[in-house]
Amino acid sequence: MFCICGRVNIGKSALINAIRGLEDNDPKAAKVGDGEVTTKISKFTWEHKNLYDFAGYGTLTEPDDDYFMRKGLCNFHGIVLLRDSAIQQADINFARKAIEFNVPLVFVQSKMDEVMGRKKRDREISEINATSIKFIIKKLKQNHRDYMGKNAPDLADIPCFFISSDSMRELMKLQKSLGNNKFQDSLIPDGTFLYEEDKLINQLLIMMYQSCEQEEKLEEVTKRAEKISQAEEEIVTMEEDANEIVDRNERMLIMEETIEKLRAELIESTTGDLKSEDDKSCDSNEDDENDEFEVFEVPEETENYEDDIVENKKV
């Protein structure tokens, strides 16, 4: 997702139409005009990507103090910030917000055809051609770097491109007709001059590719984070199982100690019972030894019993 932002009536919608190679009166084009024409966020498609057109900031309906956060621009993959010939403090504040949230951003000054016409009227250049265009662009770039270095050195490295929406539109039409063959010249066959439109398109494509790489890296990091989360959950489960095993072992040790105590008590009580039984047995034996035996007298008749047997044998 890429958005075109800037102050009101600075040419945001016209630039979107130009990038898409559409005339401003095309039914699929963004609405253009004087004043606050864009009042809500509009989405357009280019190179299989989404370009968003935002209402300009710096008005009563769209104040610039909290514009960046209010519009949720921190969620975009890249921002094209249109600036006028004199960059404003609101533009600097906007760019700093983009840097704070690590959103890629480029400055763009459009309406270069008007700038070149004014330079010719002021006799700064004698005519508009490739040489004078390079001369003016080099001078404008140096002025931009000097101003940013003095007033916003933290933004001095952000590139700034100088373009014309009309030139951009004709370039995109030509490149569409040429296909993969790149057109490299400072003058389109119909007489339209080129400024830095091709450089801006290349920068946008680079930002898009970088955003795709970041998305892939983010997806990879997300997958790794999910794996780490799963591993942590497994570790927690293992720790719970280990704690449960430890609790079981502790309970078993307690049970074993209890069994040992019961066994010792049982042995102690059994030994005491056996001792008491032995004592009782010893007492009974002593009683038996002290008993008096009854003496029986053998009758006289039995004394001659063997003699009688002998006599009978003889007979």
pLDDT tens digit sequence for 178-197: 765 555 555 565 567 888 88
Nearest Cα to Cα of residue 59 among 76, 27, 35, 42: 35
Return the pLDDT at 279.
59
Query: Which of 308 and 19 is assigned the larger pLDDT?
Result: 19
Query: Which of 50 and 299 is assigned the larger pLDDT?
Result: 50
pLDDT band for position 138 (cuts 50, 70, 90): very high
Phi then psi for residue 306, to 5 deg, are -65, -35
Return the pLDDT at 2.
86
pLDDT over 90, % of the chain? 13
Nearest Cα to Cα of residue 100 among 154, 144, 157, 54: 154
Examine the pLDDT at 171 and tell me if it is beyond 90: no
Residue 45 host element (H or E): strand 42-46
Question: For the chain, what is the mean pLDDT?
Answer: 79
CA distances for 113 relative to 57, 109, 116, 118, 311, angstroms: 24, 11, 5, 9, 178
Poorest-confidence range of 1-5, 20-24, 166-170, 213-217?
213-217
